[in-house]
A = this chain, B = another copy of it.
Amino acid sequence: MTPMAAEDSERIEGDWRERLRAQGYRLTPQRELILAAVERLEHATPDEIFAEVSAQSTAINISTVYRTLEVLEELGLVRHLHLSDRAPTYHSVHGGPAHFHLSCRNCGQVISVGEERAAEFVGRLRAEAGFEADVAHLTIFGVHVPHCPQPGSEEPHGHDD
């Protein structure tokens, strides 16, 4: 139907600069670099994003990273969630299907689960508690069962909390 929707993420990607300006914001190289870093890293803390960007270009300031992530999240380009106690981790919004996370306290591995697996639960919360859950932000802590595959391996994610 839609004339040219080859890659939806492409469309969105090519659109954000306009949206940004439409909201009265300005397109700066820092913002481009930071958004690109978030997409490249998939799941990263402000600190990791700062390091990634610094490695790429001439260092930008850490406070710019914080301020930019705030703007990007406001624009709906990135989202954050908590894979561990400390530090929120940011990820690009148009990075695949919606999912939530399971964080294992034993091995630290973070598992992504398609949101459809929570559909019924979410529906129940909506019906019984009048609450619309933000599944994409959800991180569930627990442990692998019957036992962790390889304690202390897998993703280099944090594993506290």
Contact = CB atoms under 8 A, between A and B. Distances in A.
Contact of A130 (B124, B129, B145): B145
A85 B142 CA distance: 19
A85 B88 contact: yes
A144 B117 CA distance: 21
A155 to B, nearest CB: 14
A120 interface: yes
27 contacts: A82-B82, A85-B88, A102-B125, A102-B129, A102-B131, A104-B131, A111-B129, A113-B129, A117-B124, A117-B125, A117-B128, A120-B120, A125-B140, A125-B142, A126-B145, A131-B140, A131-B143, A131-B144, A132-B142, A133-B140, A134-B140, A134-B141, A134-B142, A134-B143, A137-B141, A138-B140, A138-B141
Which of A113, A121, A133, A140 has most chain B Cβ within 10 Å?
A140
Interface in A20-78: none
A118 interface: yes
A105 interface: yes
